[in-house]
């Protein structure tokens, strides 16, 4: 399957909550393959969510913290402990900002065959799980930024980035 073009900020699919997957069929297998091909073709990235390739389905793939996989219909749980770190996004190319996240995260969902799965991680994997799940809710990492960091992020976006 091919690497798919990434949708950029301004595309409505990125701001629309994705629909739950109900059919665990060949089309879903193809979507997971396309997502993984897109992720592996995008050097240095931790994940890709279906809306980023124009598909409004609750599916993402990840390659972070030494783990690679996918989750369908994820439900996110996070710890109270926080971490700081820089974050970027394929849908906002070239922009990186300090983004607070939970130190530990767990997603419960399904694999592409409909089997239940749980993915838990800390630090970078936790950050990726939170980032990708947010995409499925129509949110981008810049939405979490506050104060001066938010103003710095919005400057290039308002200046015609999208």
86 as an active site residue: the answer is no
Count CA atoms within 13 Å of residue 24 on its CB side.
Answer: 11
Q: Please tell me which residue in 19, 81, 87, 132 is annotated as part of the active site.
A: 132
What does the DSSP 8-state code read for residue 27?
H
Query: Among candidates 56, 44, 37, 144, which has minimal Cα distance to 94?
Result: 44
β-partners of residue 48 are: 61
Return all residues near 8 (Cβ < 8 A) that are at least 6 apart.
14, 91, 92, 93, 162
Sign of CA dihedral 55, 61, 64, 65: positive
Q: Give me the DSSP letters along 54-103.
A: T--BSEEEEEETTEEEEEEEEEEEE-S-EE--EEE-TTSTT-EEE--EES
- Residue 12 neighbours by CB distance under 10 Å: 10
Catalytic residues: 132
């Amino acid at each position: 399957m091919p690497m798919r073009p990434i949708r950029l900020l301004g595309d409505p699919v990125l701001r629309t909550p994705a629909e739950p997957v109900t059919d665990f069929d060949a089309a879903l297998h193809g979507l997971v393959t396309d997502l993984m091909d897109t992720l592996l073709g995008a050097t240095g990235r931790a994940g890709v969510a279906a809306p980023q390739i124009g598909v409004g389905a609750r599916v993402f793939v990840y390659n972070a913290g030494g783990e690679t996989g996918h989750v369908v219909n994820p439900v996110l749980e996070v710890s109270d402990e926080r971490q700081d770190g820089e974050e970027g996004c394929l849908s906002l190319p070239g922009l990186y900002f300090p983004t607070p996240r939970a130190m530990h995260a767990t997603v419960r969902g399904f694999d592409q065959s409909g089997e239940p799965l749980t993915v838990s991680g800390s630090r970078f994997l936790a950050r990726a799980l939170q980032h990708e799940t947010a995409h499925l809710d129509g949110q981008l990492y810049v939405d979490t930024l506050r104060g001066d960091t938010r103003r710095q992020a919005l400057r290039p976006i308002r200046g015609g980035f999208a």
